[in-house]
Amino acid sequence: MAIPTKKELMDFSQINTGGREEVPEYKRKVFSEIKESLQKGLITAITGLRRVGKSTLIKQLLGENSFYFSFDEKKYVNTETLKNVLEVFTNESEHPTIALDEIYRVEDWAGVLKRYHDQKKAKFIVSGSSSLMIKKGVESLSGRLFEHYVPPLRFDEYIEMKGEAPETPKLKDAFRVKKRHREDAEEFLKKGSFPEIVTMDEKTASGYIRTSTIEKIVFDDIPYTFRIDNPSKLYDLLKLCAANSSQLYTEVNFAEALQMSRHAVSDYLLYLQKAYLVDILYSRGSFQKALKKQKKIFTKTASIYNAISESPSLGQSAETAVYDKLSCMKTAFYRDSQKREVDFITSFPIEVKYQSAITSQDTANLLYYMKQYKVKEGIMVTKELFDEKEINGKIIRYIPLDVFLLLKLS
């Protein structure tokens, strides 16, 4: 067990001696929201997928009278180090702001932090790459903690980081868009979502996602948090999820393919969800009924899908990106006994057809759903077609992927 000395703590970051670390000037959309919450006197918790920019955000937030320490190195992951960090920093300055990166790795971090928070010795920012971090601390820190989720990089942020100012219209104004971003959209599918890879070539970006995000989570974060014995099986399951991203799945089929028990598959899928690597989409209807039906699996982002899938397709990439776009909304999919399916149901139905030509057959299920549930308007996300048509009294908006990913939907 390693416990850093005072000198090691003060030298850990330039921030700790009154300086500033070099960080990108670009600030994620959540920056102002998190900055505002710091004034409320609660512990600010920041969660999100590895490499989405949490540490950069924290360093951008820290000003004078601030301290920073990360528990990303295993040798420092212990309660005594945490206590020492807090003692050194609170003794060094009166009522500082202390940022503790990847703190969820420390056993009983919430209990230790509670004492310092209640004594009003400092303001705290904590971060972690797993949603479990908050659940572990929520009981001890009830009423003292405010969580912020940092999502993967959005398409508008991706374009901004490339030096442009994209239009982000509301749905009703989609057809007024003056500039398209077709090439940027396909580039985003392969190397979007992570700020550090925006300027990388696609091959380098995919390798970065695998080594710095996926493998780090699968072989380090999840085994440490959940004490699993066979992370290679977890990796195999993630690859299977990627191969089936945007598709129907059953835990039984996954279990048979991987020669695992259904119970183990269920547990491993939960771990992958908590680490923000996969999501599960349920069918339309009550949750109890949806649980009994087939579900859809999605990798969290299209770039993760492309980085780990052995035979990635643009169609699956596009549908995964649309799901990621909709993940902040209440979303389901539709499938009836005749296997008529609509990809996404929000306040309106959405079908994804990322292909050169759109036929009447491609709109059939969307129109059927709209008729059955008396919905007047629907959306088809396309590759190129940009139009609005009235068919049998129903309005379908055909919106290219690059435009759709920039829309304000709520």
Domain range for 66 is 6-149
Point out the residues of the chain with pLDDT beneath 70: 1, 132-139, 286-292
Q: Are residues 389 and 340 in the same domain?
A: yes
The Cα angle at residue 186 between residues 300 and 213, in degrees rounded to 5: 35
Per-residue model confidence (pLDDT) at position 52: 95
How would you list the strands of the sheet with 387-391, edge to edge?
Answer: 332-335, 341-345, 349-353, 377-382, 394-400, 387-391
Q: Are residues 217 and 353 in the same domain?
A: yes
Per-residue model confidence (pLDDT) at position 132: 63
Per-residue model confidence (pLDDT) at position 128: 87
Per-residue model confidence (pLDDT) at position 133: 62
CA distance between the termini of the chain: 49
Q: Among residues 106, 122, 149, which one ends one of the domains?
A: 149
Q: Among residues 114, 149, 184, which one ends one of the domains?
A: 149
Q: Are residues 115 and 191 in the same domain?
A: no
Please list the residues that pair with 44 across neighbouring strands: 125, 146
- In this predicted model, what pLDDT tens digit does every residue of 87-133 receive, in sequence order? 999 999 999 999 999 998 888 898 899 999 999 989 999 998 877 66
Q: Are residues 44 and 122 in the same domain?
A: yes
Per-residue model confidence (pLDDT) at position 67: 97
Q: Are residues 244 and 384 in the same domain?
A: yes
Q: Among residues 101, 131, 149, which one ends one of the domains?
A: 149
Across the chain, mean pLDDT equals 92
Q: Are residues 198 and 262 in the same domain?
A: yes
* Domain tally, the chain: 2
Per-residue model confidence (pLDDT) at position 262: 95
Per-residue model confidence (pLDDT) at position 229: 82
- The type of residue at 290 is A
| Backbone phi, psi, residue 53, to 5° | 105, 20
Residue of 371, 373, 379 lying closest to 397 (CA atoms): 379
